[in-house]
Amino acid sequence: MNNPLFKHPDVQLSPREEAEITQDLANAYRQNEIGEKKPEFKRIAESIKKKINDKQNGGL
């Protein structure tokens, strides 16, 4: 376990640990937002829609 966010909630965090948590959360949030805008994300989403439709049309 290398992220202080996952320490027991009763454990007092140091300012450095709090800053580390903030940075990790901000990175994850930013990466998630960037990821949703990538062309590959849109292509995969379209592919999933097609696979779902194929399954529903073939399976019903």
Given 12, 14, 15, 32, the residue binding another protein (CB under 8 A):
32
Query: Could you say which residues in the range 35-54 bind another protein, by CB under 8 A?
Result: 35-36, 40-41, 43-45, 47-49, 51-52
Q: Please give the biggest Cα pair distance in the chain.
A: 57
Judged by the rule CB under 8 A, the positions of this chain that interact with another protein are: 1-3, 5-9, 18, 21-22, 24-32, 35-36, 40-41, 43-45, 47-49, 51-52, 55-56
